[in-house]
Structure 1
Amino acid sequence: MANTAQARKRARQAVQQNLHNSSQRSTLRTAIKAARKAITGGDKAAAALVLQTSVSTIDRIADKKIIHKNKAARHKSRLNAALKALSAA
């Protein structure tokens, strides 16, 4: 347990920040799942629109340093590759 007032306050802040970051990660996962579902749906135009909003969400969360920028780039790259494969098929 924290011994100083400063440490107790930082512990309280850490709890709140953890809740906020968990919510943001959940938003990220939801956006990725929505993009994957749209791509597997088969409609390229609709999937492209969903992918655009998902990429925006991924970038926003990476800018807040909730996930690493390389992880964000990896997710975006894989989603774009899946969309491109959909159009080729």
Structure 2
Amino acid sequence: MANIKSAQKRARQSVKNRAHNMALRSKMRTYLKRVITAIESGDRAAAEASYKAAMPVLDSMVNKGIVHKNKAARHKSRLNARIKDLSA
């Protein structure tokens, strides 16, 4: 444990922030898994609905600094491509 008071406070804050970030990351992964399960079931309507629900969550994670914007863009692109393949 740190000896300096400001370092002790920083350690407390980092524990709290880590828990918050982990919860947000878990939420994001849950939304992404919903899209993937809908795609794997072959239901295009459900896949599109879950995709539309997941995109704002993904964008907010970028704004909060939880994930990099390129990672979010990669997820969006790949999921959208898989949804488009369902109709073909």
- TM-score band by shorter chain is over 0.9
Match of 1:38 in 2: 38
- Give the deviation of 1:3 after TM superposition: 2.0
Q: Please list every run of at least 4 consecutive aligned residues from structure 1 whose deviation after the TM superposition is greater than 2 angstroms.
A: none
Distance in 1, matches of 2:39 and 2:56, equals 17
Distance in 2, matches of 1:78 and 1:55, equals 12
- Give the deviation of 1:87 after TM superposition: 1.3
Gaps of 5+ in 2: none
Which secondary structure state, in structure 1, belongs to the residue aligned with residue 3 of structure 2?
coil
What do you get for the CA RMSD once the two structures are aligned? 0.8
Distance in 2, matches of 1:56 and 1:86, equals 22
Q: For 1:4-39, what per-residue CA distance to the aligned partner results, in whole angstroms no more than 9, with x for missing partners? A: 111100000000000000001101111111000011
Distance in 1, matches of 2:54 and 2:81, equals 14
Match of 1:66 in 2: 66
Match of 1:84 in 2: 84
Distance in 1, matches of 2:17 and 2:28, equals 16
- Give the deviation of 1:56 after TM superposition: 1.3
Match of 1:11 in 2: 11
When the two structures are aligned, how many residues end up with a matched partner? 88
Identity of aligned residues (%): 51
Match of 1:52 in 2: 52
